[in-house]
Amino acid sequence: MRYRAAIFDMDGTVLNTLDDLVTALNWALKQCGHRHDYQGEIVRQFFGSGVNVAIQRALAYEGGLGERDLVRIGTPGFETVDGVPDAEVERIAAIYKPYYAGHSNEKTGPYPGILSLLKQLHEKKMPTAVVSNKPDEAVRILTEEVFAGLFDVYIGEREGIPRKPARDMTDLVLRRLGLAPADAVYIGDSEVDMQTAANGGMDCISVDWGFRSHAFLKERGACPIVSDAKALAAEILRD
């Protein structure tokens, strides 16, 4: 096999978390007096770069920013948003995080074929990991409740470690596994995941069943793009 380990994003890649994200985000926004009627299609575009960026995007959208510009928020040069105070983002995030941690597995579940895929990788003695921009507590809860024993290492956003697309979290995972970047492949559903793999010196496989469309991924140079777990297994296990 070409790869010795597989590192996965969580939201939109192994888990369909969208409904619980929608509920938690709308609840936190409501507590702070903001628009709180967002539906799944727009919330897909809010997430991918961590909770604070998702909240920035929601507030910017509330303020009139167009959908096409949302993806720029949270990228270099666009860490702050005019009309979206950092203090307000932090206030909403402080409400969102504990609420989501307590309600993260109500409507969430693995995408079709993912559990079988992970079992197949373990049967072949291939280490697996999750690296996500979700809060670390939520990553731990979901990994242990949904994927008990199927991931060797899992890490979410935590203080002191730069979030994706910085390579710090993937480097930490690789050190724990005793592997080099060239030994692993990163699997994700967004532009952030593509950048994470590139920054970390890893190959990337993109999936099109998550928070970004096939066309969106293709426009940004994703290759390969797979559409089901069987195709993903073939890419991970190819020679």
3-state secondary structure 162-188: CCCCCCHHHHHHHHHHCCCHHHEEEEE
pTM above 0.75, yes or no: yes
For 61-68, the CB contacts below 8 A with 24+ separation are 62/34, 62/35, 67/42
> Which residues of the chain have a pLDDT value below 70?
none
Q: Residue 79 has what pLDDT?
A: 87
Rounded distance, CA 92 to CA 55, Å? 7
Structure token digits, residue 233: 């297994």
Q: Residue 146 has what pLDDT?
A: 97
Question: Which H or E run includes 132?
Answer: strand 128-135
Question: Is 93:131 a contact under the CB 8 Å cutoff?
Answer: no
**Which among 225, 47, 156 is positioned nearest to 61, based on CA atoms?**
47
